Structure 1
Amino acid sequence: MNSNFDRTISQEDVLKRRATLLQRLHIDGWLLLIILMLAAGSLFVLYSASGKHWELLMKQASSFGLGIGAMIVIAQFEPRFMARWVPLAYVVGVALLLVVEIMGHTAMGATRWINIPGVIRFQPSEFMKIIMPATIAWYLSRHNLPPKFKHIVVSLVLILVPFVLILKQPDLGTGLLILASGAFVLFMAGLQWRWIVGAVAAVVPVAVAMWYFVLHDYQKQRVLTFLDPESDPLGTGWNIIQSKAAIGSGGVFGKGWLLGTQSHLDFLPESHTDFIIAVLGEEFGLVGVCLLLVVYLLLIGRGLVITAQAQTLFGKLLAGSLTMTFFVYVFVNIGMVSGLLPVVGVPLPFISYGGTHLVTLLSGFGVLMAIHTHRKWIAQV
């Protein structure tokens, strides 16, 4: 018995010695490499999109540093440990959304932030992008799958509470993304097709109800502008028209870095945030946009591999939802900027300027790394 025990210990020692620094830090090398590529590209494009604004560039670099730090810290926690704290995180997240509703900071006609003067200003709804899928994954993983009717109802209630609070800010784009992140978990949990067909059939009446009772006038105008941007070319249609002009003028190879006219002459609004891919398309052309899409596909593909290899139901549901939600971020932003979808104010992941959004996104990939690297260590030992 002692010889077997000694052999086991020696095998563990060998595995630990063989482990690379990244493995000991629970960091997935492929994910880290792709994220660093996107970070470098973001700073490169943002310098031009912001009009050579060094202060903005330094803030973005600081956000990347903070986000990567958060990613590394989160990657150290085992998924089982995360699952234990998910209910508390959900309660805190909803409580922060209530604080926003009562005494939130208002900017640009929306109340979405909590502002502590001289300390920090952050957007609680961003945190729900991770907390929401984690909550549904935690709840469903405690029950047999496919989920029963009562479990579906509870899951929908958990999803709708923060969705309604975010919708009141108003922030339809973020609300829909959080709704989608919870729905992805339900779908991956083996939701029966009759419920999926029923949800699709309910889209039209729900959309009509939202049009008359939920959407604000400016949100309705965005939909109308999407259907016919030329109806108000100097007003609500301006953003889409200028964005499409910027992308189209870039051609195949683009005009060159810092040589874009739409952004540098201030024709393109929000060029450093929601419409930054229009700057990329104008300066680097179709080739630049395709290269970015390839990097995104590599990131999504790695996320799906991690999902397939996850050893726990909670990890599999959470990893799959985070990966698919990231895909939705990319799809919605590019569709919005190119005129294929209504403008909903969704930033382009890793490329658009933004602090809370960037830190939250990197934290989500920290969760993915934790699910994958802890799985590898358990498999080895």
Structure 2
Amino acid sequence: MSGPNTEYDPVEVTPLQTAEVEAARDAALAAIAAASDLEQLKQVRLDHAGDRSPLALANREIGALPPQARKEAGQRVGKARDAVAQALAARLEVLEAEHEERMLVEETVDVTLPTDRALRGARHPITTMSEKLADVFVAMGWEVAEGPWVEAEWLNFDALNMGADHPARTMQDTFWLEPADAALVLRTHTSPVQARTMLTREPPIYVVCPGRVYRTDEVDATHSPVFHQIEGLVVDEGITMAHLKGTLDHMTAALFGEGISTRFRPSYFPFTEPSAEMDMVCFVCRGTGALSGGGGTEGERCRTCRGEGWIELGGCGVVNPRVLTACGIDPERYTGFAFGFGIDRMLMFRHGVEDLRDVFEGDVRFAQPFGTEI
């Protein structure tokens, strides 16, 4: 019987030859030494120590050798890979130290410099806008009325002629408070203040009602679940739409200057009849729909009103007799009008605020440019 065959084919796979392994190692060491920052070193690691690097591919070829040759080839490749790994670790330590030193120099803050680092506060523009609006009506002899944010369902809906099937009552528009049988909501408009006023006062009534309201809107550049409205209510003998028109014309002229008037477009609201959407003449282009002079190129479309010449403010109308009756006022003797619009929206188009979120984020840098007056 013949003995075991100790002879083997001495031919090596090319990547495992000594010269090839040493060349791959030397190329890796040179690239590591040339890396000048952490980002370059990261790329060198991928190129020379990653799964597709020459040494990694050579290591995979060891299995193609005869058993007697694998040990020597494995040692040769292993030493080369260890040398590359050690060089990477050493270079990484050096580059990280250099990076930290550079950050200390570039990002140094001299805390000894005397400076007023506390930003000065400012009154919020919503507050000053609300007060300015209220002042217009107080100057006409009106009163400012207020009410709670948590409101009874009857005052928020029923007293205002909004039936049980009105869509505004659903969770899509209203924040309902628990327990459900408490019939309490976060008020969806400031109109409940009007109802409370009519229930507690005898006509004549002339009140303006600014305040915060809540609806289940998503937060974006033009919507928020918390915003601000101002509403006006007049109840007296002989009140007509003409009185409403004159009041709104005076308000817009007081806020935006002489010559700014309003117009009515037919609409529908449960608590007024007849009802209208109110627009005012654009205070930038003065109703032309185009810019001129210092505001832009002659004939360019006005950006404030988008070339319409008018800016929508809100809704208005003659108080519905059903609302007067629900609040204990004789509709045969008294009539009235009501109107309402968003304070936040007026602030946005008056001062070029493009994102409503800026109004509510509480950043003092937003409020500072407005100062103490608008």
TM-score using structure 1 length: 0.24
Structure with more of its chain in helix, by fraction: 1
Report which of the two has the higher share of strand. Answer: 2
